[in-house]
Amino acid sequence: MSRFAAVDVIRAKRDGGRLSDEQIDWVVDGYTHGVVAEEQMAALAMAIFLRGMDSGEISRWTGAMIESGSRLSLDVSRPTVDKHSTGGVGDKITLPLAPLVAACGAAVPQLSGRGLGHTGGTLDKLESIPGWRAALSLDEISAQLDSVGAVVCAATEGLAPADKKLYALRDVTSTVESIPLIASSIMSKKIAEGASGLVLDVKAGSGAFMKTVDDARALARTLVDIGTAHGVATVALITDMNVPLGRAVGNAAEVAEAVEVLKGGGPADVVSLTVSLAREMLALAGLSSVDPAAVLASGAAYETWCRMIAAQGGDPSAALPSPSHVHVVKAPASGVLASLDAYAVGVAAWRLGAGRARKEDPVQASAGILCLAKPGERVSAGDPLLELHTDTPDAVPSALAALEGAYTVADSAPGAGPIVLGTVRP
- Report the distance separating Cα 421 and Cα 410, nearest Å: 26
Q: Exactly one of 25, 91, 124, 163 is catalytic; which is it? A: 163
**β-bridge pairing 335-340 and 248-250:** unpaired
Q: Exactly one of 125, 165, 170, 230 is catalytic; which is it? A: 170
Q: What residues does 249 pair with on adjacent strands?
A: 369
| Known catalytic residue at 54 | no
Distance of CA 73 to the CA centre of its chain: 23
- Report the distance separating Cα 316 and Cα 135, nearest Å: 18
The upper half-sphere exposure of residue 304, i.e. CA atoms within 13 Å in the direction of its Cβ, equals 30
- Report the distance separating Cα 328 and Cα 324, nearest Å: 14
The candidate with the shortest Cα–Cα distance to 303, out of 154, 6, 100, is 100
Angle at 255 between CA 104 and CA 107, to 5 degrees: 25
| Known catalytic residue at 163 | yes
Q: Where are the beta strands (DSSP E) in 222-266?
A: 233-240, 248-250
| Known catalytic residue at 324 | no
CA distances from 125 to 99, 122, 128, 153, 288 (A): 16, 5, 6, 12, 30
**β-bridge pairing 384-390 and 325-330:** antiparallel
Q: Exactly one of 84, 114, 221, 351 is catalytic; which is it? A: 84
CB neighbourhood size of 203 (10 A): 27
| Known catalytic residue at 185 | yes
Q: Exactly one of 112, 185, 206, 276 is catalytic; which is it? A: 185
- Report the distance separating Cα 293 and Cα 276, nearest Å: 9
CB neighbourhood size of 426 (10 A): 11
What is the DSSP secondary structure assignment for residue 230, as one 8-state letter? T
Q: Exactly one of 92, 189, 230, 327 is catalytic; which is it? A: 189
Catalytic residues: 84, 163, 170, 185, 189
